[in-house]
Structure formats: structure tokens, C-alpha cells
Amino acid sequence: MPRLFPPIGYMFRDERLLEAALTHRSCVCECFARAGGEEHDNQRLEFLGDAVLELFISEYLFSLRPRLSEGAMSRARACFVCEGKLAEIARNIGLGEHLVISQPEDNSGGRCKSSLLADALEALLGAVFLDGGPEETRSLIMKLWSPYLSVCSESPPAISDYKTALQELTQRKGLGLPVYSLSNTVGPAHQPTFFISVRVGSRPPATAMAHSKKEAAQNAAKILLRDLMDEEAAGAAARDAAQERLPAAGRSSRDCGEEREAQAVRVSPEARDGKAACGGQSGLDRCGGREGPED
């Protein structure tokens, strides 16, 4: 039966989709189990919502700035679809108070956890997509993300989640997923300094430090991301320069060919005259000479 969900102002035609989107995996109860293998929690809807969100944010960025490069669009999209931004929007609409979670998860502050809120918002988008279709989902995303997208219309946002941006770049380039590791911990127990390294494929790792592992990982991702982006920009510049040289080289080749042909036309009468005067021999042969250096 239809059910209105006030935080997003959307009327669900199938309330079971809404129930599934709001149900965390820590609280899969029989009351939410449905016959025929339907959703018990929001994990599968989260997967769908993640893809739907990336699609419509990508579409917006593509239409916003026709001259925006692929790299710039990827970096902007990473800011809009990262966990931090999703959690912020989820808090803005009060999504946490509507979630169905286990008592232990609730006691540990689960309704305020960024990861849980971000997953739930993605699941909600997936549910709207199944319930109302792409146009309803696009409209909802534009409404929820409009304060942030309006800023992007003036200038591309700075990267706020370097780990997400790094992962998107490495996947696009086919380099595999970044691997993070704790390389060292120094300092007193009450204020340790963590050294986190991140590696992609066979590249040398990038290492950074901070007083929290999360911040150190972000700093390491930032270093490696900048290196990869610099390499990508240098490669693009080299390709552009090569393409610019190709037409010029083509014109030079044609010009040289035409010049050689013109020279041949100008020399031909003289060559014919020389051969005629010597009975078919060239001028050098007639004088006992050679046309080229001795072998």
C-alpha cells in the first residue's frame, strides 16, 4: 500500500521497498521477511542506489560544463558521492531517526554513524528508483544535492575525500584498488602518530602521517592521487602536442613531394637534351665520369 516518507516528500507505491531501505543488516527481523526472496535489509538497495546516484550526478556534471575534462568531472563527482557528503545530506533530512537497527547498534550511536547513514541514503535512492523510476529519482537527487550542485555551477569543488577520488582514478585507469597499510606508530600512547602507506600495483607507495589513522590515510591518498593526476596531465599534454605536430608533418611531406616533383619537371628537359647530345648517355658518362661515389 502507498506510504508517504516525509523526510524526502515522496509517496512510495510499494511500502515494502521503503521498509527494506530503512532496515540495517544488524536488524533483519521476521517482520520484514517477504516471500519470494525479496529484500530483508538495505544492502542490495544500497548497491543499486550507489550506481543510480553516480549516473545522475555524472549526467549533471556532463551537461553543466561542456568543456569540463573527464578528470575534472571525476574529481567533482567524487566530492558529491563520497560517504561524508551522503552522511551530511542524510543528517539534514533526519534520516537516522527513521532507521531500523538493532539495539546494540543503536546503543553504540549507530543512528549517527556516517557509514550507516550514507548506506541508508543510497538504499533509499535505490528504493525510489525501483518504485518510481528514473525521473522520480533524478528529481529527488537534484532536490537533495541542489545546495552543493549550485556551488559547482560556479567552480568545480575541491576534493574533500582523497581516498574515494584515488579509487575512482585507479579503477578508471585499470590500475586496481589502492591498498592501505599501517607502516609505523610513534609517540606516546595518549597521542600517537600513525604512518599510513598506500600502494597501487607495482608503484612505489605514498606514505603520510597524522594523529589519526583516517587522516593519515587521506593524506597518503592525496599524495598518490596528485602524482597520478600529474602523470595523466603530462600524458595528455604529450598526446595533444603529438596530434598538433601530425598535420604539420603531413603538410611538410606533401610540400617536399611537390617540390621534388617540380624539380624533376624542371630538370627533365636538360637531362633529355644531354642524353640526346651524347647518343643517349648522360653528360658525366660522356666525359668518362660517374654519377656517384665509387663503390
Q: Give the Cα separation of 35 and 142 in Å (integer).
A: 34
Find out whether 2 and 12 touch, Cβ atoms under 8 Å: yes
What is the grid cell recorded at 209? 602521517
123 Cβ contact partners less than 8 Å away, ≥ 6 residues apart: 20, 21, 22, 42, 43, 45, 46, 49
For the record, the C-alpha cell of 279 comes out as 647518343
Helix/strand/coil for 206: strand
Q: What is the DSSP letter of 23?
A: B
Among 114, 144, 131, 115, smallest CA distance to 53 is for 144
Q: Which three cell numbers stand for residue 203?
A: 608503484
Q: What are phi and psi of 203, to 5 degrees?
A: -70, 150
122 is catalytic: yes
User: Can you list the positions of beta strands (E) in 54-135?
Assistant: none
On the CB side of 128, how many CA atoms lie within 13 Å of its CA? 25
Q: Catalytic pick from 119, 122, 131, 161?
A: 122
Yes or no: say if 93 and 87 are a contact pair by the CB < 8 Å rule: no
Question: Can you tell me the distance from the alpha carbon of 111 to that of 98, in angstroms, rounded to the nearest whole number?
Answer: 9
Task: Write down how long the chain is.
Answer: 295
Options 39, 50, 119, 131, the catalytic residue: 50
Biggest CA pair distance of the chain: 113
Q: Would you call 227 a catalytic residue per the annotation?
A: no
**Whole-angstrom Cα Rg for the chain:** 33
What are the catalytic residues?
A: 50, 122
